[in-house]
Structure 1
Amino acid sequence: MLNLAISFACSFLAIFLIVRSENTHARFTLDRDLDGVQKNHAYAVPRVGGAGIACGAIVVALTEWLWLKTQVTDFAMLLLCAVPAFGSGIVEDLTKRVSAKVRLSSALASALAGASLIHAVVLRVDLPLFDQGLHVWPLAIGLTMIGVAGLTNAINIIDGFNGLAAVVSMAIFASIGYVAYQVSDVLIMSISLTMVGALSGFVIWNYPMPKVFLGDGGAYLVGFTIAESLLLLIARHPSVSAWYAMVVVIYPVTETLFSIYRRTIVRGRTAGAPDGLHLHTLVYRRIVGKGLDNESLRQRTRRNSRTSIYLWILNFMGVIPATLLWNTRLPLAITMLVFVICYVWLYCLIVRFKAPRWLLLFGRDAIVVSTAVEQTRN
């Protein structure tokens, strides 16, 4: 647990310094694009929170290497492999000039580095015919690069509301850490606890009132680390079903694949074209924010934070069964199928303005009541 405490403290302090020195670096770090199709924030704040998360992870890796002499070599190598993806994201956060193709290429480069340096490769998917094909090394490497780059970008895709990507990732890392504990994998436990701590230090500054954003760099670092941790866990422990890796990240993966389908097949656009039709955006606009004053900064911020609650619950629909059923293939496959059906059903209801009333639990009514209470107190 020491690595969790260290990463939390370092991440918290690093982001504290970023927030307190905002006026010094605002020219480069503030996210001033508040009117973009995927923008739902009320005011500009620094979008380099990923630097604090990276700081927490790096300090833990160095501490373990210098004093504890554990399997930190692999942890340090994992962070080194993340440099292309994380670096391209940070540069984008600072310059807003790094294209989606360059960032995708950087994620692929990180995946290739992980396969080469720490042997994080897809060796099985627990389907006999496919597993035989993975004995062909180029196919295994190719699938690994696509999977890692895809998950790296998936965390970035769900990043758009206060605390959303960070809490979703914390839940995934907590699950990975639990399974690693069950199979006595010290390395994966260390990575998971470290990332939970670093993300916790970030969330304090991001939710419910954001002082800093995760940014592309932070999302890519977190997504890449999740992907590599799952690859190593599956490769090192045959008792862990490969379907666990699919189910524990089913929410961000489903969001990404459905977005690609919606953009390319339904709308005839490129897969990387931004739009405002993600599930979290629809929840924000049609459930949480319907009928409210969009000009009120207070209400917009509350709407933003409450939107995340819906997606946290949806994420737990995958994470909890995956955690409990980590070594059983069929129940995990059924869970994945049920989740996808529920996701598509929910999306179709909301996009057709037919969302059930129970979805207003944390939505418009809650905001109106809380606002009225505050006005009465004032």
Structure 2
Amino acid sequence: MQTFLLAFVVSVVAALLILRYNHLHGHLTADHDLDGVQKFHPHPVPRVGGVAVMVGILAVGGLVSVLRPEISRQFWLLLMASIPAFMGGLVEDLTKRVGVLTRLGLTMLAAAGGFWLLNAGISRVDIPIIDTALRLWPVALVFTVFAVAGVANAINIIDGYNGLAGVVTVNIFMALGYVSYQVGDAMLWTICLAAAGAILGFLVWNYPRGLIFLGDGGAYLIGFLIGEISVLLVVRHPEVSAWFPFLLVFYPIFETLFSIYRRVLLRNGSPGMPDAVHMHQMIYKRLVRWAVGSRQANDKVWRNAMTSPYLWVLSSLTVIPAVAFWNRPHWLLLFTLLFVASYTWLYRRLVRFRSPRWLMIRYHHDSNRSSSHRIHKKED
């Protein structure tokens, strides 16, 4: 518990200091682009919340070095391996000039570092033919770097609304930590608690008001850690099904794969081209109805925040069964297929303007706001 609390408190304070001294660094750290297709904030906001998350985890590293020296070496090696992924995203947050391919390449470099430093290489996926190929270390290396980079990029993709990526990844870390505890892996559940606490510290300032954003640095750091912990958990403990971490992170993974399908096959475009039709954006447009004039800045902030709980529930459709059946591959596969069906059904309904009525939130406060509600409805 002290691990979790230390990470939480340090992250809260670090984020507070970033906000307090925003006037000194805001010209570099703030997101001034308010008109992009994926922008839903009404004023510039610091996008370096990942720094607070990293500082919180580093504080736990110091505590572990003193109290748990037997696991401190691997703890620090994991953080060392994460540096390329974190720095690539952070430089993008500061300069807005680091492309997606560069960030992915740096995350692959980080995964390769984990492969050599921690033996974090995917050696099985519980599919016989593929498992045979993974016995060759070059195949395992390539498979691992693409898988870890893919998870990191997937976390970055769902980081679109206040509290969305933060709460989803806290749940993922807690699930990974729970199974790590069940199999007696102290290092892994310690890093999971540290990451969860640090992200919650960031969320104090991020949700619901969006005073600070996670940024690419934070998203790639968190995604890399999720990927590496997943690999290590499966490699070290044969009783853990390889389908457990796969189902656990399947919401952001499927969002990424569905985005590639939509952009490349349906629109003949680039897979890296941003658009405004991710699941979280469709929910924002089709489901959330907040009757405060939609032209008011405060309304935009609250509509942003009201979107995330829908996706928290959606992600729970993978997290809960993954934790319940972490050593039962057939059940994990079944729930993976059920999620695909549920996601596809909901997305089709949203695109066709047939949003399920039971999912819609409507607030009617007074007659003076009815015109604002009509404006909001027309805007969507």
TM > 0.5 between the two? yes
Displacement after TM superposition at 1:242 (Å)? 0.4
* Aligned counterpart, 1:204: 204
Cα contact 2:291–2:365 (8 A) shared by 1? no
| TM-aligned CA deviation for residue 129 of structure 1 | 1.5
Matched, 1:43 2:43: yes
Match of residue 342 from structure 1: 342
**Structure 2 segments unaligned to the other structure (5+ residues):** 370-380
In the TM superposition, residue 42 of structure 1 has moved relative to its aligned partner by 2.2
Displacement of 1:68 in angstroms is: 2.8
Structure 1 residues 142 and 357: alpha-carbon distance in aligned structure 2, compared to 1, 3 A threshold: same
Partner of 2:372: none
Contact 2:290 2:299 in 1 (8 A): no
Code of the aligned partner of 2:46: P
Q: Deviations over 1:316-373 (max 9, x none)?
A: 000000001000010000000000111111111101111110111xx3x14x449989
CA distance in 1, matches of 2:250, 2:365: 34
For 2:295, the aligned partner's letter is: E
Query: Are residues 297 and 239 of structure 1, via their aligned partners in 2, closer, same or farther at CA, if it must alter by over 3 Å?
Result: same
Are the counterparts in 1 of residues 290 and 303 from structure 2 also a CA contact under 8 Å? Answer: no
**Alpha-carbon offset, residue 11 of structure 1:** 0.6
**Structure 1 CA distance, aligned partners of 2:54 and 2:151?**
18
* Cross-structure match for 1:34: 34
Alignment of 1:1-378 (within 5 A): 1-289=1-289, 293-360=293-360, 363=361, 365-366=362-363, 368-369=364-365
- Contact 2:172-2:249 at 8 Å conserved across structures: yes
Of residues 310-319 and 23-32 in structure 1, the stretch that sits farther from structure 2 once superposed is: 23-32
Q: CA deviation at 1:292?
A: 6.8
Q: TM-score, normalization: structure 2? A: 0.94
* In structure 2, C-alpha distance between the alignment counterparts of 1:60 and 1:113, rounded to whole Å: 21
Residue-by-residue CA offset, 1:52-77 (whole Å, 9 max, x unaligned): 00001111112211343131211111
Instruction: Name the amino acid aligned to 2:326.
Output: W
Q: What is the number of equivalent residue pairs in this alignment? A: 369
Residue pair 2:41, 2:300 contacting (<8 A) in 1 also = yes
Give the Cα–Cα distance (whole angstroms) in 2 for the partners of residues 264 and 294 of structure 1: 33
Separation (CA, whole Å) in 1 of partners of 2:274 and 2:148: 21
Q: Distance in 1 between matches of 2:122 and 2:138?
A: 11
Question: How far apart, CA to CA, are the structure 1 residues paired with 2:28 and 2:345?
Answer: 41
Amino acid at match of 1:243: W
SS at match of 1:41: coil
**What is the alpha-carbon distance in structure 1 between the residues aligned to residue 303 and residue 366 of structure 2?**
12
Q: Distance in 1 between matches of 2:367 and 2:89?
A: 37
Distance 1:171 1:129 in 2: 32
Which blocks of at least 5 consecutive residues in structure 1 are unaligned?
374-378
1:71 is paired with a residue of what secondary structure? helix
| Cα distance in 2, alignment partners of residues 170 and 369 from structure 1 | 34
One-letter amino acid of the structure 2 residue matched with residue 294 of structure 1: S
The amino acid of 1:156's aligned partner reads N
The one-letter code of the counterpart of 2:155 is I
| Matched letter for residue 228 of structure 1 | E
| Corresponding letter in the other structure for 1:341 | A
Q: Distance in 2 between matches of 1:53 and 1:224?
A: 13
Structure-2 separation of matches of 1:13 and 1:56: 9
Question: Does the 8 Å CA contact 2:207/2:305 hold for their aligned counterparts?
Answer: yes
State the partner residue of 1:376. none
- Name the Cα RMSD after superposition: 1.6
In the alignment, is the contact (CA less than 8 A) between 2:280 and 2:311 conserved in 1? yes
Q: Give distance in 1, aligned partners of 2:366 and 2:282.
A: 22
Matched residue of 1:11: which SS? helix
Equivalent AA in structure 2 for residue 175 of structure 1: A
Give, as a single letter, the amino acid of the residue that structure 1 aligns with 2:268: G
Task: Supply the distance in 1 between the matched residues of 2:367 and 2:281 (Cα, whole angstroms).
Answer: 22
Q: Partner letter of residue 305 of structure 1?
A: A
Amino acid corresponding to residue 298 of structure 1 in structure 2: N
